[in-house]
Chains A and B, each alone.
Chain A
Amino acid sequence: MSPEVSNQSLLFLIVFVLVPLTLSYYYQLGMSKDIVWSSIRGTIQLFAIGYILTYLFDLNAFIGIPLMVGIMILVASFHAWNKGKELPNAFVVIFLGLLVVEGSVLALWLVFDMVNFKPSEVIPMSGMVIGNSMVAMGLALERMKSEFTENSGRLMAALALGAQPKQASHLIIRKTLNASLLPNVDSLKTIGLVQLPGMMTGLILGGVAPVMAIKYQLVISLSIFSSVSLSAMIVTLAMYRYFYNENQQLIESAEEMRSRTND
Chain B
Amino acid sequence: MENYLFDFHGVSKDILNDLNFTIKKNEKIILFGPSGAGKSSALFLFNRLRDPDSGKIYYKGEPIQSCEISQLRKNIGLVLQAPNLFPGTVLDNLKYGPSLFDEWEDSRAEELMDLIQLPENYLHRDVDQLSGGEQQRVSLGRTLANKPEVLLLDEPTSALDVRTSEEIEGVLEKLIEVHQLTMVMVTHNLRQAKRLGERGIFMKEGKIVEDGNISRLLMEPESKALQEFLQD
Indicate whether B122 reaches chain A with its CB closer than 8 angstroms.
Answer: no
Tell me, in angstroms, the Cα distance from A159 to B51 when the chains sit together: 14
Tell me, in angstroms, the Cα distance from A158 to B97 when the chains sit together: 8
Tell me, in angstroms, the Cα distance from A126 to B117 when the chains sit together: 60
Give the number of residue pairs across the A-B interface with Cβ within 8 Å. 62
Partner of A160, one of B78, B86, B87: B78
| Residues in B25-51 with C-beta less than 8 Å from chain A | 47-51
Which chain A positions have C-beta within 8 A of B97?
A: 161-162
A155 CB → nearest B CB, Å? 9
* Pairs A–B under 8 Å by Cβ, sample size 10: A156-B49, A157-B84, A157-B85, A157-B139, A159-B49, A161-B142, A161-B143, A162-B97, A167-B100, A248-B48
Indicate whether A154 reaches chain B with its CB closer than 8 angstroms.
Answer: yes
B54 CB → nearest A CB, Å? 15
Indicate whether A198 reaches chain B with its CB closer than 8 angstroms.
Answer: no
Contact in complex: B100, A161 (CB < 8 Å): yes
| Residues in A191-214 with C-beta less than 8 Å from chain B | none
Which chain A positions have C-beta within 8 A of B12?
A: none
Partner of B80, one of A156, A163, A164: A156
Tell me, in angstroms, the Cα distance from A160 to B143 when the chains sit together: 9
Tell me, in angstroms, the Cα distance from A176 to B146 when the chains sit together: 29
Contact in complex: A161, B84 (CB < 8 Å): no
Q: Which residue of A lies closest to B78 (CB)?
A: A160
Report B163-193 CB contacts with A as 1/0, cut-off 8 Å: 0000000000000000000000000000000
Which chain A positions have C-beta within 8 A of B73?
A: 159-162
Indicate whether B223 reaches chain A with its CB closer than 8 angstroms.
Answer: no
Contact in complex: B139, A160 (CB < 8 Å): no
Given contacts A153-B80, A247-B51, contact A162 B86 (CB under 8 A): no
Partner of A161, one of B48, B82, B87, B146: B146
Indicate whether B104 reaches chain A with its CB closer than 8 angstroms.
Answer: no
Interface size class of B (residues with CB under 8 A): 20 to 34
Indicate whether B101 reaches chain A with its CB closer than 8 angstroms.
Answer: yes
Best-buried of B77, B82, B86 by chain A (most CB within 10 Å) = B86
Q: Which residue of A lies closest to B71 (CB)?
A: A162
Indicate whether A249 reaches chain B with its CB closer than 8 angstroms.
Answer: yes
Contact in complex: B80, A247 (CB < 8 Å): no
Which chain B positions have C-beta within 8 A of A161?
A: 73-74, 77, 96-97, 100, 142-143, 146
Indicate whether B158 reaches chain A with its CB closer than 8 angstroms.
Answer: no
Indicate whether B70 reaches chain A with its CB closer than 8 angstroms.
Answer: yes
Tell me, in angstroms, the Cα distance from A157 to B50 when the chains sit together: 13
Which chain A positions have C-beta within 8 A of B82?
A: 153
Indicate whether B69 reaches chain A with its CB closer than 8 angstroms.
Answer: yes
Contact in complex: B51, A249 (CB < 8 Å): yes
Report A32-73 CB contacts with B as 1/0, cut-off 8 Å: 000000000000000000000000000000000000000000
Report A158-175 CB contacts with B as 1/0, cut-off 8 Å: 111111100100010000
Best-buried of B48, B84, B142 by chain A (most CB within 10 Å) = B84
A176 CB → nearest B CB, Å? 15
Which chain A positions have C-beta within 8 A of B49?
A: 156, 159-160, 249-250
| Residues in A239-253 with C-beta less than 8 Å from chain B | 247-250
Partner of B86, one of A154, A156, A248: A154
Which chain A positions have C-beta within 8 A of B100?
A: 161-164, 167
